[in-house]
Amino acid sequence: MGDFSYIAISRQSGLMKEMSLVANNMANSDTVGYKRQGAIFAEHIAAIGSTNQSGSPEHSLSMGHLAAHSPDFGAGSMRPTGGSLDIAIEGEGFFMVNVDGQTQLTRAGNFMTDAEGRLINVDGNAVLDSAEGEIQIPIDAGEIFIAEDGSISANGVELGRIGVATADPQTLSRQGNNNYVAREGFAPSEFTLVRQGYLEDSNVDPMTEISRMIEVQRYYDAGQKIFDMEDDRIKQVISTIRQIS
């Protein structure tokens, strides 16, 4: 396989992965609290051929690859729902949920209670308070009120406080189900406000994603045409050699 083929395959592979990201964004355009994912590509340079007297390669081959996903943590629009356990964060910060014993962060605030009265998210994971403990809401609590600081009360009795944490976006790793893990830890948020009866919509702009999808598809098609042209050239060379021999 020639150098051109390696470069072309690397390019097409990267475009396919970016197309997958765009498709995933489109699929989650209605997912509560979802953050758009972008692609970060990096260059990989491989030495080829012989080396010179100093030991450095005389020739090199440059290829690109998908190095990382880049989430866009821009706020989505707040949508009023009127639900007593629907909560949106105004400003920076994340809700904390317990996933198999690990504290993960999310912007999705569509909560509910389970049969035991625990406050949980749509995946059945416990929503945590500021001390990373579970929040218990009595079955007969009646009307629930959630203040801007996350305090939950019913019938004038405080039941707990929903924890909101902040973390450096550069240290967040996506875990699936709209959750993130802060690799370098997180801290309680002091100034974030929560809004009861609202949900934060996805920050995906479908029109932007469609435009990007068309652009990536055009790049891929152009690369495929070059691939086909190179394949035809190689076939012609082989045919010429056979005729000569």
Q: Which residues of 65-99 are buried (b: 16+ CB within 10 A; e: fewer)?
A: ebeeeebeeeebeeeebeebbbbbbeeebbbbbbb
Residues 6+ apart with CB under 8 A from 202: 28, 29, 30, 31, 32, 33, 34, 35, 36, 76
pLDDT category at 207 given cuts 50, 70, 90 is very high
Q: Which two tokens stand for residue 106?
A: 């999310």
pLDDT category at 170 given cuts 50, 70, 90 is confident
The model carries a pTM of 0.77
pLDDT category at 164 given cuts 50, 70, 90 is very high
| pLDDT digits 0-9 by tens, 19-69 | 888 999 999 999 999 999 887 655 556 555 566 666 565 555 555 555 556
- Taking residues 217-221, report their average pLDDT: 84
| pLDDT for res 67 | 55
pLDDT category at 237 given cuts 50, 70, 90 is confident
- Taking residues 56-84, report their average pLDDT: 75
Residues 6+ apart with CB under 8 A from 21: 37, 38, 39, 69
Average pLDDT, the chain: 84
206-244 helix and 3-27 helix, angle to the nearest 10 degrees: 160
Name the residue ranges covered by the structural domains of the chain: 3-73+206-244, 78-200
| pLDDT digits 0-9 by tens, 137-153 | 988 888 899 999 999 99
- Taking residues 111-124, report their average pLDDT: 94
- At 12, the amino acid letter reads Q
| pLDDT for res 128 | 96
DSSP 39-63: EEEEEEEEEEEEE-TTS-EEEEEEE
